[in-house]
Amino acid sequence: MIKIIGETGSLFTTFLAEIRDEEVQKDSMRFRRNLERAGEIFAYEISKTLNYKEKEVQTPLGIAQVPMLTDNILLATIMRAGLPMQQGLLNYFDKAESAFISAYRKYHSDGKFDIKFEHLSCPAIDDKIVIISDPMLATGSSMALSYKALMKRGTPVHTHIISLIASKEGIDFIKKQLPTDKITLWVGAVDDELTVKSYIVPGLGDAGDLAFGSKE
């Protein structure tokens, strides 16, 4: 159910190091591009698990037998932080449809928060491979809420959930809340600590603010 792609050194871990680095983060364009490149790598890794059918391709010198993807893909992301990773996934799954989820933390005066779900823009998901992306999996509440909202639109073949950095608590929450036989969780790294305000440590900070600027 859980695949951690940053456990060994690779270009992915190099990108992840830059994404975490507070100095590199000062360049928001670089930050967005690194999130996009991470999305591309996740797309490539997921592509190895999908279904293919041999196709004859005419070359200038003959015919080549090439496996071609047969699954229908739907890419969903939680706005706004997930948009650069969504673009990376779309760069590779270029025939995929897209869905956009508006869910956010609504903070109260005591510092606690609720997860608010506002809107879902989504085509039908029946018989498709659904890939949901969000850079951070902290408590797991936003992802669980988004998954459940998507499932009201149909029944996919399988769902892949992608997070660049996850907390152990968030992973445990997803295991409890979602059907583990119907999802695969892909993460870049797992961090041990989740603060009382539900920030991942060491994490990377607020991905949405770093990518697009601070919000009121």
Q: How many residues does the chain have?
A: 216
Question: Other C-beta atoms within 10 Å of 46: how many?
Answer: 21
Of the chain, the percentage scoring pLDDT greater than 70 comes to: 93
**Tokens describing residue 110:** 């005591």
Q: Quick: pLDDT tens for 116-135.
A: 667 788 999 999 999 999 99
For 80-203, strand residue ranges (E) read 97-107, 113-121, 129-133, 136-137, 158-167, 183-191, 193-194, 200-201
Binned at pLDDT 50, 70 and 90, residue 107 comes out as: low
Q: What is the CATH number of domain 2-50+70-212?
A: 3.40.50.2020
Mean pLDDT value across residues 189-211: 89
Among 50, 51, 102, 52, which residue's Cα sits nearest to residue 76? 102
Report the predicted TM-score, pTM, of the whole model to 2 decimal places. Answer: 0.91
Per-residue pLDDT, 71: 98
What does R_g of the chain's alpha carbons equal in angstroms?
18
Between strands 62-69 and 183-191, the pairing is unpaired
User: Which letter does DSSP use for residue 48 in this model?
Assistant: T
What does the buried/exposed string (b/e) look like for 201-212 if buried means 16 or more CB atoms within 10 Å of the residue's CB?
eebbbebbebbb
Rounded Cα distance between 190 and 97, Å, is: 29
Mean pLDDT value across residues 187-201: 89
Q: Answer yes or no: is pLDDT of 173 > 70.
A: yes
Mean pLDDT value across residues 63-77: 97
Residue 4 · residue 189 · CB < 8 Å: yes
Mean pLDDT value across residues 197-208: 89
Rounded Cα distance between 167 and 186, Å, is: 13
| 94-108, 135-149, 160-174: segment of lowest average pLDDT | 94-108
**Residue type for 14, please?**
T
| Segments making up each domain of the chain, as ranges | 2-50+70-212
